[in-house]
């Protein structure tokens, strides 16, 4: 019986089922059928094909990472034959073909541990267990007869298939350095960082000295103070390379490798890995957990190009000391995260009226990036929603890359997920809660910041907000729809022209100006986006701005139409690369004409549906109002482009001079279009008062739609004609 190297639970081996996917495995078998499905393995790029990448996992096990598994285009991978990569074994076929999956973690340090998968043993093993066995085989008398580990031996592990983590592989140091650090560790409290190859005598002396130090004082902080180490900040560590320093900050993560324990410490300026070594695979400072505020002492070193601290003293701060550090970090974070006010992208009265709200939204996003909190943008699956979401994506991704060392950080710390109807309902919230709790449990992720764009501003989203609020996930809403007061109380930040008494604009105009505050360096990339989001009567200020950025009116129209078409297909996907090509593509991206080509398909498909629908419109007169009525179930292709929302918008633009309102009716959904925005909540209530058995309720205020029981369809249509006539 052993214990899980991550959570410590009792298991047969070294990893529990819950955390198996958090560990990197090194394969020591010689046949594909010895692999374990759903584990992540280290491999080597063996070659490329049009359909994917071949990866050698070890022995005779070479699998295919199909291009459909990649989170980017195959030709954008910077892998070369022979490169070390990390993949997931998804399936081993009867013919020994291996199906591989993508791993967003492409550095060993991003896993929470490393284990050896050797089919000759009943369970996975630690690297040191393998080394023990090898030493016994070579010497015949166990570890005492094993050759002494040296720097060269540590480096040679790679060639023998026992590559260690970046931190672990650098733990071995020269004998002279070992003696020096052993002597220094005697003067501090805790498990110093005595290297693995220290002699038995020096290790014993270090233990005795540490014990003596412990007896002399119960306060590790006092010991650190007595050493008079200079207090450094993380961003200044490159200037202290080779020096002993003192750091104060929060423990963000704790990773137990098969060598040292690695504490990721964050202060007000950044994060750094701090390695503490007792003996191979043994947890240093077991009392220190994530979220602790600590004082730490050690030597600054550079390991494989990255700064880290060789920790020889660490103490958890309490009471006033803790509060002092927390307050200092919070003040610095506020100052760092809050952007200065910047000029609007173009003249827009709505933007001028929302200055403070725009800054608050940008601050929330910047704070999330700085504090390692994932940012999830939920936007409506419309052209306006996609363009608005991409504006925030364009601004945030560079900050993520700057803040985090991982090559895949932009996929790990930022996500964009479309929403049907612009409503955050219980189904969406349940999915998000399930994902965020799993990521917290499995990967120690912080709960994400949710940013709702062109969505969430109306009361239909309150149930979803309440669910994620139970877990304390922060929420920002940026919505151009007429918002409800209740939403302002249910989220942390709300950017809403209607609640601010401002003129109307688009969600993209709002989000693009937030994005300009998030990252002023992408301002030029954003200038044409607001113009793309308007379907008619585009303000001249935005058209002029787009023209100065190189996009004339025809270009922005084509981009809008193209995005609208692509937003319809696979509306649950972010389509990051495709949408980026449509919005920002140029000759260098080899996507010239992409928007024009897709926009042509948009116009053809839309015109076909408009012609059919126009021929089947009926016109009703009620209270001197002329209302056009379309049965969308009968006279549209229900599961093809365009969706009812786009079709009805276009029909009303063409019928507007002859009708006061347009009603589209599906099996259980009714849409309203009018010259002036109508309160769909009032319409739903009044229709429900007339058709009392129809179960009428608002479906989406943004889409101006209500839902009812299909068996009461005729009664709902009659009631709706009367009610809508009163409102127009």
CATH code, 694: 3.10.310.20
Q: Are residues 593 and 639 in the same domain?
A: no
Looking at the predicted structure, is the pLDDT value of residue 639 above 60? yes
What pLDDT does residue 51 have?
A: 85
Domain that includes residue 663, residue range: 616-727
pLDDT interval class at 268 (50, 70, 90): confident
- Does residue 419 sit in helix, strand or coil? strand
Mode of pairing for the β-strands spanning 98-102 and 61-66:
parallel
For the ranges 163-167, 187-191, 488-492, 597-601, the lowest mean pLDDT is seen at: 187-191
Q: Are residues 561 and 455 in the same domain?
A: yes
* Boundary (domain end) residue, out of 551, 568, 598: 598
Q: Is 238 inside a domain boundary?
A: yes
Mean pLDDT score across all residues of the chain: 84
What pLDDT does residue 11 have?
A: 84
Distance of CA 283 to the CA centre of its chain: 29
The mean per-residue pLDDT over the stretch 438-447 comes to 84
The mean per-residue pLDDT over the stretch 274-288 comes to 88
The mean per-residue pLDDT over the stretch 44-59 comes to 89
- The pLDDT tens digits of the residues spanning 18-33 come to 888 888 999 999 899 9
What pLDDT does residue 8 have?
A: 75
For the ranges 164-168, 491-495, 671-675, the lowest mean pLDDT is seen at: 164-168
pLDDT interval class at 227 (50, 70, 90): low
What pLDDT does residue 218 have?
A: 38
What pLDDT does residue 236 have?
A: 94
Q: Are residues 293 and 360 in the same domain?
A: no
Mode of pairing for the β-strands spanning 271-276 and 61-66:
unpaired
Looking at the predicted structure, is the pLDDT value of residue 152 above 60? no
d(CA 483, CA 467): 20
Q: Is the dihedral of CA 483, 487, 489, 492 positive or negative?
A: negative
What pLDDT does residue 298 have?
A: 94
What pLDDT does residue 68 have?
A: 84
Q: Identify the helix (H) or strand (E) that includes residue 452.
A: strand 449-453
Residue 606 has which token pair?
């839309």
What pLDDT does residue 183 have?
A: 39
For the ranges 140-144, 349-353, 527-531, 573-577, the lowest mean pLDDT is seen at: 140-144
Q: Is 603 inside a domain boundary?
A: no
Q: Are residues 381 and 527 in the same domain?
A: yes
Q: Is 539 inside a domain boundary?
A: yes
- The pLDDT tens digits of the residues spanning 539-560 come to 999 999 999 999 999 999 999 9
pLDDT interval class at 371 (50, 70, 90): confident
Q: Are residues 402 and 448 in the same domain?
A: yes
Looking at the predicted structure, is the pLDDT value of residue 179 above 90? no
Q: Which one-letter DSSP state was computed for residue 454?
A: S
d(CA 223, CA 453): 51
Q: Give the 3-state secondary structure of 699-717.
A: EECCCCEEECCHHHHHHHH
Looking at the predicted structure, is the pLDDT value of residue 209 above 70? no
Looking at the predicted structure, is the pLDDT value of residue 45 above 80? yes
Q: Are residues 489 and 637 in the same domain?
A: no
Q: Is 301 inside a domain boundary?
A: yes
pLDDT interval class at 150 (50, 70, 90): very low
Q: Are residues 560 and 438 in the same domain?
A: yes
Distance of CA 381 to the CA centre of its chain: 19
- Quick one: how many helices (H) and strands (E) in the chain? 24, 25
Q: Are residues 591 and 505 in the same domain?
A: yes
Cβ neighbours of residue 521 closer than 8 Å, sequence gap 6 or more: 398
DSSP symbols for 341-372 = P---SS--HHHHTTHHHHHHHHHHHHHHHHTT
Q: Are residues 620 and 691 in the same domain?
A: yes
Q: Is 10 inside a domain boundary?
A: yes
Looking at the predicted structure, is the pLDDT value of residue 697 above 60? yes
Q: Are residues 309 and 187 in the same domain?
A: yes
Looking at the predicted structure, is the pLDDT value of residue 326 above 80? yes
pLDDT interval class at 226 (50, 70, 90): low
Looking at the predicted structure, is the pLDDT value of residue 274 above 80? yes
Query: Highest mean pLDDT: which of 123-127, 203-207, 300-304, 322-326?
Result: 322-326
Looking at the predicted structure, is the pLDDT value of residue 437 above 50? yes
For the ranges 395-404, 424-433, 438-447, the lowest mean pLDDT is seen at: 438-447
Q: Is 73 inside a domain boundary?
A: yes
Looking at the predicted structure, is the pLDDT value of residue 528 above 90? yes
Q: Which residue has the higher pLDDT, 484 or 49?
A: 484
The mean per-residue pLDDT over the stretch 563-567 comes to 95
Half-sphere exposure of 21 (CA within 13 A, CB side): 16
Residue 438 has which token pair?
């799993």
pLDDT interval class at 499 (50, 70, 90): very high
Q: Are residues 580 and 627 in the same domain?
A: no
The mean per-residue pLDDT over the stretch 46-70 comes to 89
What pLDDT does residue 3 have?
A: 79
Q: Is 132 inside a domain boundary?
A: no
Q: Which one-letter DSSP state was computed for residue 54?
A: E
Q: Which residue has the higher pLDDT, 316 or 268?
A: 316
Residue 440's domain is classified under what CATH number?
3.90.1640
Q: Are residues 392 and 287 in the same domain?
A: no
Q: Is 257 inside a domain boundary?
A: yes
pLDDT interval class at 131 (50, 70, 90): low
What pLDDT does residue 538 have?
A: 94
What pLDDT does residue 137 have?
A: 54
Looking at the predicted structure, is the pLDDT value of residue 123 above 90? no
Identify whether the C-beta of residue 481 lies closer than 8 Å to the C-beta of residue 385: no
* Boundary (domain end) residue, out of 321, 336, 361: 321
Q: Give the 3-state secondary structure of 255-320.
A: EECCCCEEEEEECCCCEEEEEECCCCCCCCCCCCCCCCEEEEEEEEEEECCEEEEEEEEEEECCHH
How much of the chain, in percent, has pLDDT values that exceed 70? 84
d(CA 301, CA 422): 50
Looking at the predicted structure, is the pLDDT value of residue 213 above 80? no
The mean per-residue pLDDT over the stretch 435-445 comes to 85
* Boundary (domain end) residue, out of 539, 569, 598: 598
- Say what the alpha-carbon torsion angle 301, 306, 308, 310 is, to the nearest 10 degrees: -50
What pLDDT does residue 169 have?
A: 42
Distance of CA 312 to the CA centre of its chain: 34
Looking at the predicted structure, is the pLDDT value of residue 208 above 70? no
Residue 98's domain is classified under what CATH number?
2.40.50.140
**Number of structural domains, the chain?**
4
- How many Å is the Cα radius of gyration of the chain? 31
DSSP symbols for 562-589 = HHHHHHHTTTTS--HHHHHHHHH--GGG
């Amino acid at each position: 019986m052993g214990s899980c190297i991550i959570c410590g639970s009792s298991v047969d081996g070294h990893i529990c089922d819950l955390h198996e996917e958090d560990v990197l495995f090194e394969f020591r078998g010689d046949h594909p059928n010895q692999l374990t499905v759903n584990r992540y393995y280290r491999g080597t790029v063996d070659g490329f094909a049009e359909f994917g990448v071949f990866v050698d996992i070890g022995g005779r096990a070479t699998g295919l990472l199909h291009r459909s598994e990649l989170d980017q285009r195959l030709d954008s991978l910077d892998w070369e034959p022979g490169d070390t990569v990390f993949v997931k074994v998804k399936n081993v076929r009867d013919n020994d073909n291996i199906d591989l999956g993508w791993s967003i973690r492409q550095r060993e340090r991003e896993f929470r541990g490393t284990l050896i998968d050797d089919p000759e043993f009943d369970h996975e093993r630690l690297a040191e267990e393998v080394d023990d066995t090898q030493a016994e085989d070579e010497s015949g008398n166990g570890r005492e007869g094993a050759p002494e580990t040296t720097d060269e031996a540590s480096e040679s592990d790679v060639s023998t298939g026992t590559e260690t983590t970046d931190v672990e592989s650098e733990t071995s140091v020269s004998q002279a350095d070992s003696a020096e650090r052993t002597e220094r560790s005697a003067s501090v409290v805790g498990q110093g960082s005595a290297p693995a190859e220290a002699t038995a005598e020096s290790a014993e002396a270090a233990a005795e000295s540490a014990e003596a130090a412990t007896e002399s004082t119960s306060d590790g902080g006092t010991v650190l103070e007595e050493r008079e180490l200079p207090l450094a900040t993380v961003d200044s560590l490159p200037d202290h390379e080779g020096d002993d320093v003192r750091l104060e900050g929060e423990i963000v993560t704790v990773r137990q490798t098969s060598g040292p324990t690695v504490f990721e410490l964050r202060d007000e300026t950044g994060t750094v890995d701090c390695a503490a070594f007792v003996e191979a695979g043994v947890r240093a400072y077991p009392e220190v957990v994530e979220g602790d505020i600590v004082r730490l002492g050690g030597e600054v070193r550079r390991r494989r190009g990255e700064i880290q601290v060789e920790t020889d003293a660490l103490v958890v701060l309490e009471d006033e000391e803790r509060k002092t550090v927390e307050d200092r970090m919070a003040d610095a974070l506020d100052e760092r995260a809050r952007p200065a006010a910047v000029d609007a992208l173009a003249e827009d009265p709505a933007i001028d009226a929302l200055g403070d709200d725009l800054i608050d939204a940008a601050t929330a996003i910047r704070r999330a990036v700085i504090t390692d909190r994932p940012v999830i943008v939920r936007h409506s699956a419309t052209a306006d929603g996609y363009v608005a979401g991409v504006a925030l994506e364009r601004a945030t991704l560079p900050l993520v890359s700057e803040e985090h060392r991982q090559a895949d950080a932009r996929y790990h710390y930022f996500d964009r997920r479309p929403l049907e109807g612009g409503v955050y309902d219980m189904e969406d919230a349940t999915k998000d809660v399930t994902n965020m709790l799993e990521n917290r449990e499995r990967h120690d992720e912080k709960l994400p910041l949710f940013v709702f764009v062109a969505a969430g501003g109306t009361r239909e989203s309150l149930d979803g907000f309440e669910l994620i609020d139970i877990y304390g996930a922060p929420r920002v809403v940026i919505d151009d729809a007429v918002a409800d007061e209740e939403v302002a109380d249910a989220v942390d930040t709300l950017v809403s022209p209607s609640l601010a008494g401002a003129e109307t604009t688009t969600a993209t105009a709002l989000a693009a100006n937030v994005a300009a505050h998030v990252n002023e360096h992408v301002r030029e990339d954003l200038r044409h986006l607001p113009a793309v989001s308007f379907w008619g009567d585009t303000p001249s200020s935005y058209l002029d701005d787009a023209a100065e950025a190189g996009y004339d009116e025809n270009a922005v129209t084509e981009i809008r139409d193209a995005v609208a078409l692509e937003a319809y297909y696979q509306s649950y996907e972010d389509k990051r690369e495709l949408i980026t090509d449509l919005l920002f593509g140029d000759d260098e991206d080899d996507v010239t004409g992409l928007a024009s080509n897709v926009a042509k398909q948009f116009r053809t498909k839309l015109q076909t549906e408009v012609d059919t629908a126009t021929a089947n419109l009926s016109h009703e007169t009620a209270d001197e109002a002329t209302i056009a009525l379309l049965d969308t179930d009968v006279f549209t292709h229900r599961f093809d482009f365009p969706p009812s929302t786009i079709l009805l918008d276009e029909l009303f633009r063409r019928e507007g001079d002859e009708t006061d309102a347009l009603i589209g009716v599906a099996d259980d959904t009714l849409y309203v279009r009018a010259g002036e925005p109508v309160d769909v909540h009032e319409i739903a209530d009044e229709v429900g008062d007339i058709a009392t058995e129809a179960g009428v309720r608002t479906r989406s205020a943004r889409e101006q739609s209500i839902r009812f029981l299909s068996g009461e369809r005729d009664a709902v249509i009659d009631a709706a004609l009367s009610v809508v006539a009163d409102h127009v």
